[in-house]
Structure 1
C-alpha cells in the first residue's frame, strides 16, 4: 500500500494532522519526516517491530544500526541518559533546538533494541516544529536516521516528491515539510564529561 503524503508547515504544524501521525506511530507506523537538517525515517522508539522495519528499509542489521532519536526538549533528554554534567548542560541550552546530535551514556529508559550493543545513544532536538510536535503528542521519542546515502549527496533527500517516489511503497506516512537540507547534523560525544566533535555537520561548533 502506498504511503500517505501529509503536508505540514514547520512554522505552525496543523494539530489535527499531528494527532493523526502520532496515532499511526502508536500503531507501529514508519514515517519519513523533515528535520532542521536532512529528512529522516523513523518510528516510535518503544515499538521494537517498527524499529526493526526501519533498519530493514535502511538495509542494516538492527543490532548494528546507528540509530538516534528525537526528544521534545532538554528535560526529556534527562530521562534517557545516566547524567548530564553541568558543562554539557550549558552547551545543550545554547545549542538546542538545533542541528546537533549529542551522544550520551544510555539510561535504563532507553529500549534495549536501541542501546543494547553500544550503551550510548544519540539524541536530537531539531529546530523544526514538525518532529518536535509529533514527539510531544506521541509521548515518546521517535527514531531518527537519515535517508541520505552516506557517500554522496542524493537529490531525493531534499525534495519531498522524489522522497515519495523512492520510499512511497516502503513506509506508511511521508510528511512533506518543504525542501530539506542536504547537510547532516553535527555529532557531539559527551561520554568523557566534556564535549568532543565526532562529525562536523550543519551545527556551528564555535558554540562549544
Structure 2
C-alpha cells in the first residue's frame, strides 16, 4: 500500500519531502506533481523502478526516459550541450519542457534510447518537484503518469493512490495539477524539433 503525503503546493513541508526522498533512496517508486502533470519517479540507478514504470505505462523500447534535474549543474553532467543550445534551453527553463539530447557516460545505458543514445532532461518549476530533487541530491528518473489506453494523465492525488496503490510506494499530493505533459523538444541533431506539444509553448522552438 502506497504512503500518502498531503503537502502544501507552494511551500511543501520539509518533513514530508524528506520521508518521500527516503522512500526513493530505499528503491521506491513515487507519484508526484509537476508543473505539467503528475509523474512517476525513482532514483536514476534504480533498475527495478525503471522496470516498474515500463510495466505501469506499458512502454516500448523506443521510449525516451527523462531525468529531472535540480539545476543546470546537474543537467550539464548528463547531456552534451553546446553554447547555442544551452542558451535556447535556458531561456525556457525551468518550465514544462523536456529536451532530448545526446547523453554523457554519466547516464546508465538502460535509460538511453537504444539506437540514438539520447535521454530526456528537464528542470521543473513546480515547488514539490523542485523540493524532491533538491533533497535527493541527484537527478531523478521520471515519466509522465499516463496510463495505457488513457488520453490524459491522472490529475488528482487520491485518484492516483486508488489506481496505483499497489504499484507505487508513495503518492505526493499538493492539489490538482495540470493534465498536459511537457512539450518535448529534440535537440539531438543540434537543432530544435518539436516532437510533442504539451504544456510549454512550442513557439520559441518552432
Counterparts of residues 1-208 of structure 1 (less than 5 Å): 2-60=1-59, 63-82=61-80, 84-115=81-112, 117=114, 118-149=116-147, 152-154=150-152, 157-208=154-205
Deviation, structure 1 residue 207 = 2.8
Q: Structure 1, unaligned stretches of length 5 or more?
A: none
Q: Structure 2, unaligned stretches of length 5 or more?
A: none
Residue deviations 1:100-123 (CA, integer Å, cap 9, x gap) = 000010100001110161410011
Deviation, structure 1 residue 151 = 5.6
More helix by share: 1
Residue deviations 1:49-80 (CA, integer Å, cap 9, x gap) = 2222222222235x444321200112211000
Residue deviations 1:108-157 (CA, integer Å, cap 9, x gap) = 00011101614100111111021121111112211211122476434x71
The separation in 2 between residues aligned to 1:34 and 1:197, in whole angstroms, is 24
SS of 1:95's equivalent in the other structure is: coil
- Structure 1 pair 150/55, CA: closer, same or farther in 2 (3 Å)? closer
The separation in 2 between residues aligned to 1:14 and 1:74, in whole angstroms, is 25
Higher mean displacement: 182-191 or 136-145: 136-145
The separation in 2 between residues aligned to 1:205 and 1:164, in whole angstroms, is 32
CA contact (8 A) 2:35 2:124 kept: yes
- Structure 1 pair 50/151, CA: closer, same or farther in 2 (3 Å)? closer
SS of 2:77's equivalent in the other structure is: helix
What number of residue pairs does the alignment pair up? 204
The separation in 2 between residues aligned to 1:150 and 1:190, in whole angstroms, is 27
Deviation, structure 1 residue 28 = 0.3
The separation in 2 between residues aligned to 1:144 and 1:99, in whole angstroms, is 13
